[in-house]
Structure 1
């Protein structure tokens, strides 16, 4: 009998265990009826992307105060022109975060995401530091009242240990209405400099808080509307987006909040609004003196109202350990009270997952990469999440991201990219979050083979897109949704004038060879008038769009591809203008500058290849995508045998730190508008297209303005896997320009490598046909590379009679214009040409012109790099006058030159007939 009872009891226990196991969730999908922030002005909403998801994301370390040294310092060594504290940021901020947001996610970061060092805070508690910043209230049916409890106030310039600005002030409160006379709060910043500023809002979460607080950002591009769920996220900075604000806009540019929520009796609260990133303001005891975006998460958290128990476990004794520990605890503080972590105390944000982006150390002396490692931890919190799901979901997340990264890098860049696998290990950032968490060690920032890829914007885009896809697949799997990957940016973009007041835009979708789902089904067209900012966009179903445009205004356009998974990064920008004074003449501006790349590098020839290598950014700094925020200075140690000793003695790769607070300008893909503005002011209409569209342009233009910028043939990584990219003139372009010249269309070309790319690019063999194209079609020849240092050019006596004196071009790193570190010296190819500009430091020829059956004007430095607008306008006017001059007005030329007028071009190969 006893044995029978034991057997029955065992069977019951087994059944109970089986039922419990069957009842346990297998996914982690926290409920969220209303996300933290919803962009009401977004033209589309992804249905098979990340809409409604909340992702906590951060990029490794950051500048911190080291008590034992009594100084602020980086947490890692300065190596190979960067430092990990900034390097991983160069993926997370320009690429990964926008990709996740384009898929619909709310992305929350524990570090400042805006690299604009200007900052204005507007608050209901007056602050004399921003005397021109204005907070106003307008009362309607309901009246704003002072809320019960503490709110934000900016009382001081420097915050010392444990001082919390979100406990220093008050907040305002009003009951919501469904319709009627609304009450509003208004924050006007009066920014010190026109530019792009991140906008953060703060409020208080109270009993009865609304889920639909309506904020409106009034900016240079119009109005953007947001719905903020004030039942979560109260008492910290909540990011809305980046917008262009004008320093002269007055009260036109502002943020407003209404109590018209569509519901009655809820509570709407208002506190501070922050514009821009600013400088560090946490004293330890001194401030860092660096922009806030460079600082560690621990300091942002203090400025953002996070409890000191989260950001300083050491109670102020060790900022280093506080920083890496704070990030995981910050995730739990965000999620506390939500469906992600219901038993916790926090901001009630239902975090879906957390992701820590790091790079690692390690060296090789050949082309082998250290490669990628994924880290997760399954054993904390009894190996389950709050809903009972297994923490082995962390492994699923890690493998989804890890496999995505390895697949895409190997397919697109480096077939031999090393995998270090995935590891179940007790790292603080992997074990602490109470949500699925992953720590990524992408590559070794210490290893030259890794960083030849790692400094390239193309690689950063690929890696970031791979991470986004891994997160997308994991998150959709948790909710039973079929994931759709957002499209790639469009290409073949052209803007053409039609009729007397219209523009026609055309473009092509770009298939993603790795993702069949990433094809667009719609597009968003954005418009910018003059020197304003882009609007919120218009959805179109086809890859063609026609719109009316005003006369005598440069109208610019860009396009994003859209599908059910989200939207792509923007296209390059094209522009047009209709000049009312010259309706029958127009120019074609061609953007031939699409290069983005890493700086020049070298490996010493064998047998010294294992001894010396490095980056040579003084020869070619490379071209960042829009802006770079990770560059610290040139490499100074090239001996591969020197070991790392400590962060002040990094060994091989050791680099200067003289540029580490700078934002470095790159390729904005927005040069047709700048060229076009000068053309319009000179009295001509213009239209524009990408270089790949040039062979399809059919109109007979007055002239073609071909933009080359820093275009030149460029490798990827070690350079022996994929063909070179970004040639100045490929065969299609050569044929197209030759045909235009044969029809008598004048040609204006400018670029830093306009000749050296064809004559002496060290990465490729020079082709005689390329040089014949330059000499016989464009009428110039190479004379010298790296021709000047000072950034000056001067006009010389010539038949052109330039009406411009000396000019300056950008020859130093800055945030506004890419650097021209190695301009070309060029000379006339035959007797039809003459030098029109020289570099005064050595009198080398900087630009030439030629006159014959058609005319050319070629510059060995980019037109857009000229730093002063009036100099660009004067120069363009002179070039157009030269092109438009009739034969009877020409300066007399020699009989030899006259004979050349009878020649015509038959092809780009340089064949010439008399």
Structure 2
């Protein structure tokens, strides 16, 4: 019915599968690629062209696409990944595509446990998408250069009155050594979601000048070369300082996890823009801040001397990607020993460091995060401030994927240690957040701060955290 509404000169009685090829022909496409997952027993990747009358160019397109995909999976995920072959079949999609090369790809088996795990893995899906893009690009243009990977080690910092300097590094692609960045595109935004058209830069830094003091700006960077433009970096943010002011808070984007088993209905995927929610809350309390990726901070730990407080975003970062690496633990320990102030939030920190961690991990967790891990699932997404404390009256909920961020699957339950005190509890009275005031100051939330809603309560929570850490 929809294609008829669009004006297609054919009836939809062909059925949903058969009409796909006819619709592609009617639209005048250059290529037809149908992406499937397989079933019925087995593992691995196969591809198909029509069995007895493949459209012109289909065989060449299949060869390039199939070989690229299998090669990349073997190099990245499984050197023994099964190549089920370049095949032919009388599939309706292929039979009815006549004006362009047509290929159907069965990426993996959704009814095989190991294949199914990969199909739900964000990194695997990203690899498949990039591999298919490379195959298409090489077939259409013969290009041996593909677009680069996104920049890394990104930072956005106030560098003077009314100016902000961004810096980053190009990311090497081990699968495509020729996909080096020729330049970069720097994008800016006033809300972190809608960005401007960008500006082209041929170095690894860029400075914005004549910005509005007190305003919050958001930034991301992509790379480009002859093959095209990369995906964007994570989103970072700055509240611009006026003359005579310096940002004393550094927001660290440490949530890199991309292998979350994803259900798009519940937004269980990492959009890497959660600095938006932290920045909004900091600005609502009147504070100026810079932001940085954890990789950039590890490259330049000396910049910590410029800040009084770290707000470290860990989201659902867990054991595979490490909440805090050994180097990060060393740098943080040095910062805290000098009286630093630390806000850290994430739902898997205790699970990673205390439950699954090494002896050194457990020591860091108990000494500097002042906590003991209890269990990996709170049993509720409702959180309350403890009566008789600074936090009384807070009534918080954690996102289930329908409130703008992502579903918090397993918020940790913790207990305070070493002089720390509980100030937030889940609805069932299990501990959700602790604070410590001693040689250093600490607020540790066993859930991701950015997933708290409503916004007014999230901002109020930040206001009390900042009073606890910076004042009082």
- TM-score computed with the length of structure 1 as normaliser: 0.49
Q: Is 2:380 the partner of 1:802?
A: no
Q: Is 2:31 the partner of 1:353?
A: yes
2:94 to 400, 413, 430: 430
Name the structure 2 match of 1:872.
458
Which digits, 9 at most, give the CA deviation of each residue in 1:746-793, with x for residues without a partner?
0111111121111224xxxx311101111112222212221232x111
Distance in 1 separating the partners of 2:418 and 2:151:
41
Distance in 2 separating the partners of 1:816 and 1:780:
29
1:371 to 18, 30, 44: 44
Q: SS of the residue aligned with 1:326?
A: helix
Which digits, 9 at most, give the CA deviation of each residue in 1:39-85, with x for residues without a partner?
xxxxxxxxxxxxxxxxxxxxxxxxxxxxxxxxxxxxxxxxxxxxxxx
Q: 1:584 to 1:538 in 2, by over 3 A?
A: closer
Shift of 1:663: 5.6
Q: SS of the residue aligned with 1:312?
A: helix
1:410 to 64, 74, 78: 74
Q: Is 2:122 the partner of 1:460?
A: no
Is the Cα contact below 8 Å between 1:376 and 1:439 reproduced in 2? yes
Q: 1:546 to 1:517 in 2, by over 3 A?
A: same
Shift of 1:598: 4.0
Which digits, 9 at most, give the CA deviation of each residue in 1:108-128, with x for residues without a partner?
xxxxxxxxxxxxxxxxxxxxx
Which digits, 9 at most, give the CA deviation of each residue in 1:559-608, with x for residues without a partner?
11100110111110000003559824520000111112243xxxxxxxxx
Structure richer in helix, relative to its length = 2
Q: Is 2:153 the partner of 1:492?
A: yes
2:377 to 752, 761, 786: 786
Q: SS of the residue aligned with 2:255?
A: coil
Distance in 1 separating the partners of 2:247 and 2:87:
65
1:691 to 294, 301, 306: 294
Distance in 1 separating the partners of 2:384 and 2:59:
63
Is the Cα contact below 8 Å between 1:804 and 1:875 reproduced in 2? no
Q: 1:452 to 1:400 in 2, by over 3 A?
A: same
- Unaligned regions of 5+ residues in structure 1, if any? 1-298, 314-321, 336-350, 365-369, 386-390, 600-623, 630-661, 714-724, 890-914
Shift of 1:502: 0.8
Name the structure 1 match of 2:278.
675
Q: SS of the residue aligned with 1:593?
A: coil
Q: Is 2:249 the partner of 1:587?
A: yes
Is the Cα contact below 8 Å between 2:387 and 2:393 reproduced in 1? no
1:333 to 1, 8, 26: 26
Distance in 2 separating the partners of 1:414 and 1:688:
36
Distance in 1 separating the partners of 2:45 and 2:417:
51
Q: Is 2:169 the partner of 1:503?
A: no
Query: In angstroms, what is the RMSD of aligned CA positions?
Result: 2.0
Q: 1:581 to 1:857 in 2, by over 3 A?
A: farther
1:883 to 445, 469, 472: 469
1:562 to 224, 249, 252: 224
Distance in 2 separating the partners of 1:519 and 1:758:
36
Is the Cα contact below 8 Å between 1:700 and 1:745 reproduced in 2? no
Which digits, 9 at most, give the CA deviation of each residue in 1:434-454, with x for residues without a partner?
221111111122222211101
Is the Cα contact below 8 Å between 1:452 and 1:598 reproduced in 2? no
Is the Cα contact below 8 Å between 1:443 and 1:450 reproduced in 2? yes
Q: 1:531 to 1:483 in 2, by over 3 A?
A: closer
Q: 1:324 to 1:665 in 2, by over 3 A?
A: same
Shift of 1:486: 0.5
Instruction: Map residues 696-775 of structure 1 onto 2, 5 A cutoff.
Output: 696-697=300-301, 698=303, 699-713=305-319, 725-761=320-356, 766-775=357-366
Shift of 1:687: 0.4
Is the Cα contact below 8 Å between 1:511 and 1:519 reproduced in 2? yes
In terms of Rg, which structure is larger? 1
Q: 1:379 to 1:779 in 2, by over 3 A?
A: same
Instruction: Map residues 121-160 of structure 1 onto 2, 5 A cutoff.
Output: none
Shift of 1:418: 1.1
Distance in 2 separating the partners of 1:489 and 1:792:
37
- TM-score computed with the length of structure 2 as normaliser: 0.94
